[in-house]
Amino acid sequence: MTNQELLDLFQEMGVLQTGHFKLTSGRHSAQYMQCATLFEHPLLAAQVIQELLPRLPESIDIVVAPAIGGINAGYELARALGCRFIFAERQDGVMTLRRGFNLSPTEDVLVVEDVVTTGGSVREVLEIVHDAGCKIQGVAAIVDRSGGNVDFGVPFASLMSVDIETYNPTECPLCLNKVPITKPGSRSS
């Protein structure tokens, strides 16, 4: 699928949403990528994830994802690769492995996120993986909305890139027009 075909599919499915959104960064936007909507349709999600496979490194023993957004994408990608899957989650504001999850220094790791904007959550997971002594093979995402500006120091593959304009809240045209705002992300504060 081309970037445009994916964008059309995501618009049709409601993955690409329009409105007035407050992003985790605090900035505002008229569009939001809600990849969780893709995973409401498991067979279609599996087909979309298959499109990412040729872009990945060959040697992957385990997929690690940040909660909450990366869990579905990471699980589905690990299933397609036939490898182990775990996720990191915040505990007292710090990304950590819980639930008995662990990493072995002999494992080749792929870190997976649904949407990469600034790459903050991915960097936190990369630190966990690095501290465990694992070999980081790369990072993968369904959507790169960083504008190509994110650098993880390892190969980064995304299924599609989108350029979504964001605004400082004091200069947001949606606020000036009194369009109601929503906070759609996993961090509600």
Whole-angstrom distance, CA of residue 28 vs CA of residue 63: 31
Whole-angstrom distance, CA of residue 70 vs CA of residue 121: 10
Whole-angstrom distance, CA of residue 122 vs CA of residue 104: 19
Kindly give, in sequence order, each residue whose CB lies less than 8 Å from that of residue 45, ignoring residues fewer than 6 positions away. Answer: 38, 39, 72, 76
Whether 62 is in a domain gets the answer yes
User: For the segment 32-69, what is each residue's pLDDT rounded down to a tens digit?
Assistant: 999 999 999 999 999 999 999 999 998 999 999 999 98
> Is the pTM above the cut of 0.95?
no
Whether 188 is in a domain gets the answer no
Whole-angstrom distance, CA of residue 63 vs CA of residue 73: 10
User: For the segment 84-120, what is each residue's pLDDT rounded down to a tens digit?
Assistant: 999 999 999 899 999 999 999 999 999 999 999 888 9
Domain range for 158: 3-176
Counted domains in the chain: 1
Whether 145 is in a domain gets the answer yes
Whether 44 is in a domain gets the answer yes
CA distances to 30, 71, 101, 132 from 112, rounded to whole Å, are 26, 8, 16, 17
